[in-house]
Structure 1
Amino acid sequence: MSNFTTQDLLQHPGFRKWVLEQDETEAVFWETWLGSHPGQEGELLEAKEILLALHNAQMPPSGAEEETWTRIEDSIESAAGREDGAKVVQMPRASNRRWMGYAAAVAVLVAAVSFWLFNREEYVHYQTSRLEVRTIVLPDGSEVRLNGNSSLSLKAGWGKGKERTVLLGGEAFFNIKQQPGAEPFIVLTNDMAVRVLGTSFNVNTRRGQTQVVLSNGKVQLELKNKTSAPITMQAGDMIAYSSMKDSLVNKQVNPENYCSWRTKVLHFTDAPIRDVVRALHENTSVIIEPEDAGLGDQTFTGSIPLDDIGIFFKTISRTFNVQIEETEKNVYRISRQN
């Protein structure tokens, strides 16, 4: 995905929600984005500082005023577009913190107005709540099924003779429409770039890694921090890679077990209960706490409707002689029967 400027970030609703509301989902998205664009940390920190200055009507603690003011002035000059002959209004550098707060507000206002005047490119951002599953039809006819608590971002005007690139945070199932002669479709995550021309696959960026499961067709994976040739996946392949841990897992699986969330049902085959519990938490607001650590090593096979996890509780209760107690709303404890 193309880079964001400071002004792009100031106008991005998801970025503002992260900075001003400390939204956890947006935090995951922007951490993923920064991991794919490490060279833009300066722009991100600058935009964050400007937003907070406007929101709080004051600048950072004493001693940081001069440095902050210099960065804000640079931002104004860039946004105003010197090449177009626009003049920048120079505000006096008052030492009083209140006046510095007003200056910061003016800086944001000038940057925002300049953004619209010079018609900078915008970005389209999709976000789902924890229990929401949403289908997005992209301009090229490709479909993205976005799982709960996930985000997808793409450039406005995307796909019109340009590289079809999207940025994913969370989990999504992609059904890519084949377009002869079109640019490749690329999914960027914190760990890799998934490159494809036409196929169906699931991408999950949770648990500190990126997991790709291919339903049909072929895709190529370009792993971050790896100089080796791209990995070509075949139908039924599952590859999980963490650039932070430098760990790579590759095995054959039943793809339906990894994308059944699209119908709000989770399928498991000989899955450790710890993985089942984690998947339920990722797809719902439920927290399940096994008292016995050994229970997490036991395996579970079956289907769990996301709107009726009682089925899971009944199955493990009979199979492993355990009892389930709701300790508080949506929090359950599993313990051995005496």
Structure 2
Amino acid sequence: MDTYIYEIIAKQLSSVSTPEEDAILREWREASPDNETAYIKAKQIWQDAPRSLPVSRQKQFNAAAAWSKVDQLLQQQEAPAAKTVRMPVFRIAAAAVLLIMLSAGAWWLASRPSLKVREMAANEGKIKSVELSDKSVITLRPGAKIKYSEGAERVVTLEGEAFFEVAADPRHPFLVKTPNQSVVEVLGTSFTVKTADAHTTVIVSTGKVKLGRANDTSSVILTSGQKGVWGNGQLSAADNDDPNFMAWKTGILQFNDQSLLEILPQLADFYGKVIRIEDGYQATAAQQKATISFQDQSCDEVLHELQLLLGFNYKQEGDTIVIGK
């Protein structure tokens, strides 16, 4: 039974649900006609409860009596009729009990830690990690933030970039949602997700994930070593050609016969710097190549080593590093 969904229904009908929970409920209702029918049934029971059920407005109530009354109500509502589609009684009854519990005191659901939406941000230029109740681990790149609730459904909303190590649970897919409405679905794997400029980029380290747009049947399956990109209505998948996609987490930068023109944008991304190549030096930078690696070094140290190897000069102009002859 989708207990977590019915808890959200209960919170919504009591006007205590969050926008994130409303969005989860909306997607669940649109997923199938059966879900919409179940929602309508639960809402009907909620609306009928005040006149049909002796609901206590105190913090305590008689659960056994509630079950009995709900069962009676269901039998009345599901009287034999031609071509009537009947929902499983236990499913609706359980939902109704959740609604009754909330009507007995909205504090019950609102105060449950497992239902609260949590937020975490990696501020002050530091990496942050969190282990969820299902043992999945999320590592946030500086500047990233997530929202998540640790109910039966594993859903995380991400802005920025993060590395996910997802605990396997075939019954409960792990979903990562992004600002551009893309959704990453996974059963158990490790991967990075980066959101920027209306694009979502997913690179899979191990396992398999599905990348697609919310409420859209089109999607791509990504396996270990592949990269998927969603943005501007386009969805693509290819082999990952970026060996440094995890550099922000490992502190290791590796370049194998790459030109200075290719190296500098990666340094800019890694260090959060603006690096510009002078127009007159673009052609030369495209020809200068290096095979080199760096670990836990400052931007200035890396540029100095590349300068000794390739022979260019660099200078600071305001917030920009300028590369030239």
TM-score (structure 1 length as normaliser): 0.56
How do residues 321-336 of structure 1 correspond to structure 2 at under 5 angstroms? 321-328=311-318, 331-336=319-324
Q: Which runs of 5+ in 2 are unaligned?
A: 27-49, 58-104
Equivalent residue number for residue 208 of structure 1: 198
Q: CA deviation at 1:308?
A: 1.3
Q: 1:324 to 1:144 in 2, by over 3 A?
A: same
1:250 paired with 2:241, answer no
Give the length in aligned residue pairs.
Answer: 233
> What secondary structure does 1:312 align onto?
helix
Equivalent residue number for residue 219 of structure 1: 209
Distance in 1 between residues matched to 2:259 and 2:211, nearest whole Å? 27
Q: CA deviation at 1:206?
A: 2.2
Distance in 1 between residues matched to 2:254 and 2:120, nearest whole Å? 26
> What secondary structure does 2:168 align onto?
coil
How do residues 1-338 of structure 1 correspond to structure 2 at under 5 angstroms? 119=110, 122-129=116-123, 131-155=125-149, 158-159=150-151, 162-179=152-169, 181-189=170-178, 190-224=180-214, 227-228=217-218, 230-242=219-231, 245-253=232-240, 257-269=244-256, 276-292=263-279, 294=282, 301-305=291-295, 307-318=297-308, 320-328=310-318, 331-337=319-325
Q: Which runs of 5+ in 1 are unaligned?
A: 11-32, 40-82, 87-113
Distance in 2 between residues matched to 1:235 and 1:332, nearest whole Å? 36
Q: CA deviation at 1:151?
A: 0.6
Q: 1:8-54 CA distances to partner (integer Å, 9 max, x unpaired)?
A: 779xxxxxxxxxxxxxxxxxxxxxx8xx89x9xxxxxxxxxxxxxxx
Q: 1:185 to 1:117 in 2, by over 3 A?
A: closer
Q: Residue 151 of structure 1 contacts residue 170 of structure 1 at CA under 8 Å; is this kept in 2?
A: yes
Distance in 2 between residues matched to 1:267 and 1:318, nearest whole Å? 17
Q: 1:312 to 1:127 in 2, by over 3 A?
A: same
Distance in 1 between residues matched to 2:265 and 2:197, nearest whole Å? 9
Equivalent residue number for residue 93 of structure 1: none
Please tell me the root mean square deviation across aligned C-alpha atoms, in Å: 4.0
Distance in 2 between residues matched to 1:130 and 1:280, nearest whole Å? 20
Equivalent residue number for residue 84 of structure 2: none
Distance in 2 between residues matched to 1:214 and 1:302, nearest whole Å? 24
> What secondary structure does 2:126 align onto?
coil
Distance in 1 between residues matched to 2:239 and 2:253, nearest whole Å? 19
Q: CA deviation at 1:274?
A: 6.2
Distance in 2 between residues matched to 1:255 and 1:322, nearest whole Å? 24
Q: 1:151-183 CA distances to partner (integer Å, 9 max, x unpaired)?
A: 11102xx14xx211101111111111113x531
Q: 1:265 to 1:207 in 2, by over 3 A?
A: farther
Work out which structure has the larger RCO, using CA pairs closer than 8 Å and 6 or more positions apart in sequence: 1
Q: 1:271 to 1:231 in 2, by over 3 A?
A: farther
Distance in 2 between residues matched to 1:262 and 1:234, nearest whole Å? 21
Q: 1:259 to 1:333 in 2, by over 3 A?
A: closer
Q: CA deviation at 1:252?
A: 1.3
> What secondary structure does 2:304 align onto?
helix
Q: 1:139 to 1:238 in 2, by over 3 A?
A: same
Q: 1:94-139 CA distances to partner (integer Å, 9 max, x unpaired)?
A: xxxxxxxxxxxxxxxxxxxx99798375310010025211121111
Q: 1:248 to 1:270 in 2, by over 3 A?
A: farther
Q: Residue 271 of structure 2 contacts residue 299 of structure 2 at CA under 8 Å; is this kept in 1?
A: no
Q: CA deviation at 1:218?
A: 1.1
